């Protein structure tokens, strides 16, 4: 139930959170970011950590799938383990490499998208707590952090909305600057 609430109805992601400890650890790390970020430098460092984690996830998935896929393609084209490939198969192998590269990039972007979705839901919960809303929070497993941020004096509802909007790609520069002091 907690995984379903945390993913806000995304069934595949909820299943993954419920069954994959690594996915739960990555999500927990993402939800700790708002507590660590106090200034622009910290924000940039956190963003780089997200990108690096996404790249590592994509690399792991690629290693699992790409080697097997490449060996299967070589076998189908008549090339054996360690032997030369028949003439005319270089194009097919190049197409496979391109497909694998696109999949790696897509996986990295999907991982970043999930992290940003988690952060958006986190700040939605902060805003709900600040406004005293009766709506159930999505991140019940991070309730202590949510309440801490909701109580913090420099994190008014207006600032929470500004940060949430910035993460969703609709940055209001003037409001962002007014709310950019990240004190605990």
Structure confidence at residue 181 (pLDDT): 44
pTM: 0.69
Structure confidence at residue 69 (pLDDT): 92
Do residues 27 and 18 touch, judged by C-beta distance below 8 A? no
Structure confidence at residue 99 (pLDDT): 94
From the number of C-beta atoms within 10 Å of its C-beta (0-12, 13-18, 19+), residue 69 rates as middle
pLDDT confidence tier of residue 103, bands split at 50, 70 and 90 = very high
Distance CA 106, CA 43 (A): 24
Structure confidence at residue 88 (pLDDT): 84
Mean pLDDT of all residues in 144-158: 73
For residue 127, give Cα distances in angstroms to 86, 119, 141.
62, 12, 17
Do residues 35 and 146 touch, judged by C-beta distance below 8 A? no
Q: Work out the percent of the chain whose per-residue pLDDT is above 70.
A: 79
Structure confidence at residue 19 (pLDDT): 86
Q: Work out the percent of the chain whose per-residue pLDDT is above 90.
A: 15
């Amino acid at each position: 139930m907690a995984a379903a609430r945390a993913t806000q109805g995304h069934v595949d992601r909820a299943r993954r959170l419920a069954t994959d400890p690594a996915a739960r650890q990555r999500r927990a790390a993402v939800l700790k970011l708002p507590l660590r970020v106090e200034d622009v430098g910290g924000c940039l460092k956190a963003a780089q950590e997200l990108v690096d984690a996404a790249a590592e996830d994509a690399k792991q998935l690629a290693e699992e799938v790409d080697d097997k896929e490449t060996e299967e393609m070589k076998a189908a084209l008549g090339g054996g383990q360690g032997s030369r490939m028949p003439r005319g198969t270089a194009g097919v192998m190049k197409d496979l490499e391109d497909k694998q590269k696109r999949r790696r990039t897509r996986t990295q972007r999907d991982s970043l998208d999930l992290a940003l979705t988690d952060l958006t839901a986190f700040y939605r919960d902060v805003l709900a707590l600040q406004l005293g809303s009766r709506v159930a929070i999505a991140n019940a497993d991070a309730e202590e952090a949510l309440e801490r941020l909701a109580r913090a004096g420099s994190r008014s509802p207006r600032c929470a909305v500004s940060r949430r909007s910035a993460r969703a790609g609709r940055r209001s520069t003037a409001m962002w600057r007014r709310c950019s002091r990240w004190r605990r």
